[in-house]
Amino acid sequence: MKKILEINGLVTSFILKDETIQAVQDVSFYVNQGETFGLVGESGCGKSATCRSVLRLIRDPGKILNGEIIYKGIDLLKLTDEEMVNYRGSEIAMIFQEPMTALNPVLTIRKQIYEALKRQKLSKNDMEIKAINLLKKVGISSPEQRLDNYPHQFSGGMRQRAMIAISLASEPALLVADEPTTALDVTIQDQIIKLINNLKIEMGMSIILVTHDLGVVAQMCDRVAVMYAGKIMESADTLTLFSTPRHPYTIGLMNSIPHTDKEHGKLIPIEGNPPNLSNPPIGCPFEPRCRYSEEICKTKEAELIEIGEGHKSRCHFIDKLIDVKGIIEK
């Protein structure tokens, strides 16, 4: 399968006056043509910083310190800001986490879609036709009237749909969706998930989906990487990850999910908090919260190694987890 994006050794930090926050540390993964790739983890684990790095939206005090971001054979990190404009928004688009803050409150939806269409050099009439069709495509009724509404006149789900319409205006090959369902109720979440999936098939897009919701991952993703403290802890195809997880953090995330088939089952939370990324632990960053840890974990971090076809894990004691069953039993 052809790779549309390949990230190698990405390092992104936020350099403040008194400290440096190591948000993304030596992250590598790839996205195939036409697939949905998930980035999963708790808040603050580096998912959004990774995606913003892909579009080079990291700004001072943030800085991309190392790595490669290869899109269709071109390293985006070697492009000038002027050259990057030809890729950001047109080739690679992004759905931001909270549409109410991402959309401009003083501009109509029409003007915000037109802004995304400007590079196509369409006539005013053609821009209006395309804008109406985009709103129809994302399921907004009476699009001719809604074009001249402001974001505050839309409900949360409608704002997210408008945000998706704007991101699709240039017909991107790669869509980065940063927590696209987080601020929505479960009914609207399901609608947005189905909408994105349908648009992916219709337009032949690839998607990077950022989320902390493993239920969304199960519905949408072909492959997934689990991030913690700015690093990838485990990666695999979705079925393998859900059936045979091989990292304590992945297992902890799965134990935190309610299971409707288990009567009176208690959730097992991950005790403690993620580490301070301005002063990360010497050993494994998950060690203070890990029930499988031993002395070596405090002083030496494990390498991310391949343990099966396309299945990688970063743990000294993968053999301890060999009998652990995930959500889906093989």
Q: How confident is the model at residue 265 (pLDDT cuts 50, 70, 90)?
A: low
**Quick one: CA dihedral 180, 247, 9, 240, positive or negative?**
negative
Q: Is the pLDDT of residue 42 over 50?
A: yes
Q: Is the pLDDT of residue 152 over 70?
A: yes
d(CA 21, CA 11): 11
Question: With contact defined as beta carbons under 8 Å apart, do 277 and 230 qualify?
Answer: yes
d(CA 303, CA 84): 33
- pLDDT score for 178: 92
Q: For a pLDDT cut of 70, what percent of the chain falls above it?
A: 95
Q: Is the pLDDT of residue 314 over 90?
A: yes
- pLDDT score for 330: 38
CA max distance for the chain:
68
d(CA 81, CA 55): 11
- pLDDT score for 183: 67
Question: With contact defined as beta carbons under 8 Å apart, do 38 and 217 qualify?
Answer: yes
Q: For a pLDDT cut of 90, what percent of the chain falls above it?
A: 71
- Average pLDDT on 18-37 reads 96
- pLDDT score for 187: 83
Distance of CA 90 to CAs 183, 256, 257, Å?
Answer: 26, 38, 37
Amino acid, single-letter form, for residue 217: V
Residues with Cβ < 8 Å from 228, sequence gap 6 or more?
41, 42, 45, 249, 274, 285, 286
Distance of CA 284 to CAs 6, 120, 294, 319, Å?
Answer: 26, 49, 10, 17
Nearest to 25 by CA among 247, 278, 236: 278
pLDDT, tens only, 205-263: 999 999 988 888 998 999 999 999 999 999 999 999 999 999 999 999 988 877 666 55
Degrees, nearest 5: CA angle 28-31-33: 160
Amino acid, single-letter form, for residue 303: E
Question: With contact defined as beta carbons under 8 Å apart, do 140 and 162 qualify?
Answer: yes
Degrees, nearest 5: CA angle 31-256-313: 40
Minimum mean pLDDT range among 73-77, 110-114, 259-263: 259-263
- pLDDT score for 259: 67
Domain boundary assignment for the chain: 106-169, 236-321
For residues 214, 218, 221 and 226, what is the CA-based torsion angle, rounded to 10 degrees? Answer: 30
Q: Name the more confident of 152 and 215.
A: 152
Q: How confident is the model at residue 185 (pLDDT cuts 50, 70, 90)?
A: confident
| HSE-CB for 181 with a 13 A CA cutoff | 23
Distance of CA 282 to CAs 203, 240, 275, Å?
Answer: 45, 30, 11
- pLDDT score for 326: 62
pTM, two decimal places: 0.92
Question: With contact defined as beta carbons under 8 Å apart, do 249 and 226 qualify?
Answer: yes
Q: Is the pLDDT of residue 170 over 50?
A: yes
